[in-house]
A and B are shown apart, each in its own frame.
Chain A
Amino acid sequence: MNDRLYADTPDPGFDSMPELTGYTEEPTAMYVGCPGKRGYLNLVFEVDDDGKSIMRHHDRRAPLIVQRELYVDEEMPEMPCVYIISSGGPNVDGDRYIQEFRLAPGAMAFLTTAAATKLAEMKRNYSGMKQTIILEAGSYLEYLPLPLIPCKHTRYISDTDIIIDPTASMFYSEIFTPGRKYYKDGELFEYDVLSICSHARRPDGEELYREKFVIKPERGLVRDIGVMGRFDVFGNVIVLTPKDKADEIFEKTGPVFGKELACGVSRLPNDSGLIFKVLGMESEPVKKAVREFCSTVRRAVKGRGLPREFAWR
């Protein structure tokens, strides 16, 4: 197979993970690693001579696409906003994506996806995403992709490596739906496996935290009390920021446990920041809770809140 590999971007190397055992067969359609199935994105943000944050560099391979940065945030008009597009539609069997984002000293950026990430039904292989996020001194990143929709028999793995200077701040959220909730009779937790890992370290190598969750609904535990309980949608937010900012955000974030929504914040180890968990019955309230929390973070770090979300998102 190696002579057919599309060597332009490296393989994220997930095949050996035990949760993917049984899911590494070659797809019968386009092979793993072929053009169009190995997306790559490398974005670098810098402060230009006028003191404005810009996307200095972008390198991309289909199906991942970005266009030029936009300055559409009315509360922070100086912040470049970039919408990541996956031109191939849903992630399918054998897709491998690599995303690398770097924020140079003092730079800021807002990243999101143009649409929810659909993970299509998979029969032989899996879909994987490897991310590296580098935040240099005093930089600030908000990364709020739209929800992930894992369809029946989806297998998806992601690994996010964050290297952050002690003076930088990052807000990174992910929202996981249970599937196509309103498709036919409803598709709730019918995927095969979701394996999500993120970890952070300082530029000198000091490790800060590590989180990994592996959800295999067929085990029948996902609805247990303490896991998802009666909720369908899960939001997970990592905030890495200096301790004084984290303390302020922690004080201002009240836990909630209601019928439609539950959320709460905890302190990450090594005074590295906070982790915020949200559970809800639908995506919209979870997205709203994540954005409200982002607004609290932005106020603490940048002194301004989040604008109202666009009506079409």
Chain B
Amino acid sequence: MKNYFRLIQFADSAFPVGTFSFSNGLETATSLGVVHDAATLKAYARSAANQAAFTDGVAALAAFRSARRDDLAGIIKTDRDLALFRLNFEARLMQTRMGKKMAELAARLYGENSLAGRWLETIKAGESPGYFPIAQGAAFSLASLDERDLFVAHQYGVINMVLSAALRLTRVSHYDTQKILFELGEDVDAAYEEAREMKFENMNSFAPEMDIFASLHEKGQSRMFMN
């Protein structure tokens, strides 16, 4: 029972890592009218989840496996590898802010001498960038959760971030967003089966329209979200 409790705690949108400040590019997509209803929102959320699965998801799993071996150097290496993949400024900002908060929380929960505490020190020293998926991987390992739990929480977090922002950005109801969340849950198993075998050189993402939304957002004037 304890493991389920920890899983729900870490995956909860109320877990204070600042998820509410980010829209994952949805703010621009709605302002352009590209996302305007439940169907278009679902397609957008699916893209966000899919591109995250084979980059952040793979990195989270690698960090989890390093944490299992208490391998701090492995965590730092995965963190730096993931940083090479983050090709836009706001995504880097979002993930390092959330990552540092998650590392701070994990250090509080498991102690300064825990792996999370030691990794937090390397983030503060500028030796590790502190990306969110890495922090998730470390925290889930410390909680003795399974890597499948981690992957599910990671995908849930990406989709839920987009859907929560959507409630404030476009004309969709709670019924719509919960239905989308429910339906996209169908894809998680297949994504995990593919991601679990991937190494750094296999990590990939293809979402050029989202990249252009991010570019528009970075140069935009009126903004409610940080990305």
Residues on A facing B (Cβ under 8 Å): 17-19, 195, 197, 199, 207-215, 221, 224-229, 231, 234, 236, 254-255, 257, 262-270, 275, 277, 279
On whether the beta carbons of B207 and A227 are closer than 8 Å, the reply is yes
- Tell me the nearest residue of chain A to B202, going by C-beta: A18
Nearest 6 Cβ contacts at the A-B interface: A264-B215, A226-B47, A213-B206, A266-B88, A264-B212, A226-B210
Instruction: Let me know if B25 is at the binding interface, CB within 8 A.
Output: yes
Main SS class of interface, B: helix
Q: Are A275 and B206 in contact (CB under 8 A)?
A: no
* A221-B212 contact in complex given A18-B198, A213-B205, C-beta closer than 8 Å: no
The yes or no answer to B136 lying at the interface (CB within 8 A) is no
B29-A227 in contact (CB<8A)? no
Of B50, B205, B209, most buried by chain A (CB within 10 Å of CB) is B209
- 11 additional contacts, CB 8 Å, given A214-B54, A267-B89? A208-B84, A213-B206, A226-B209, A229-B34, A255-B215, A257-B216, A262-B209, A266-B88, A266-B89, A268-B87, A277-B215
| Majority secondary structure of chain A interface residues (helix, strand, loop or mixed) | strand
Name the interface size band of chain B.
Answer: 35 or more
Chain A residues positioned under 8 Å from B218 (CB to CB): 266
Please measure, in the bound complex, the distance between the C-alpha atom of A209 and the C-alpha atom of B83, giving whole angstroms: 8
A254 to B29 Cα, complex, angstroms: 17
Q: Are B209 and A212 in contact (CB under 8 A)?
A: no
Give the shortest distance, in Å, between A79 (CB) and chain B (any CB).
29
Contact of A227 among B81, B84, B201, B209 (CB under 8 A): B209
> Is A209 touching B210 in the complex (CB atoms < 8 A)?
no
B interface residue numbers (CB < 8 A to A)? 25, 29, 32, 34-35, 40, 43-44, 46-48, 50-51, 54, 80-81, 83-89, 92, 197-198, 201-216, 218-219
Which residues on B sit within 8 Å (CB–CB) of A268? Answer: 87
- Given known pairs A208-B84, A255-B216, the reply for A279 and B209 (CB within 8 Å) is yes
Question: A226, B207: Cβ atoms under 8 Å?
Answer: yes
24 A–B contact pairs at CB < 8 A? A195-B204, A199-B84, A207-B80, A207-B84, A209-B84, A209-B85, A212-B205, A213-B205, A214-B204, A221-B47, A224-B46, A225-B44, A225-B47, A226-B44, A226-B51, A226-B209, A226-B213, A227-B208, A254-B219, A257-B212, A266-B88, A268-B87, A269-B84, A277-B208
Contact A226 B214 (CB under 8 A): no
Structural contact, B85 and A210, CB atoms closer than 8 A:
yes
Nearest residue, chain A, Cβ from B199: A18
Nearest CB in chain B to that of A263: its residue: B212
Min Cβ gap A156→B in Å is 14
Partner of B43, one of A209, A215, A226, A234: A226
Chain A residues positioned under 8 Å from B50 (CB to CB)? 221, 224
Q: How far is the CA of A275 from the CA of B83 in the complex (A)?
A: 15
Complex formed: what's the CA distance from A262 to B209 in Å? 8
Chain A residues with CB below 8 A from B201, complex form: 212
Closest Cβ of chain B to A88, distance in Å, is 28
Contact check, A18 vs B84: say whether CB atoms are below 8 A apart. Answer: no
Please indicate which of the listed interface residues A214, A229, A234 has the most CB atoms of chain B within 10 Å of its own CB. A229
B212 touches A236 (CB 8 A): no
Bound-state Cα–Cα, A279 to B197, Å: 31
Least distance between B38 CB and chain A CB atoms (Å): 12
Given A18-B202, A266-B87, A267-B88, A224 and B216 contact (CB-CB distance below 8 Å): no
**Contact B32–A257 (Cβ < 8 Å):** yes
B33 → chain A closest CB, angstroms: 10
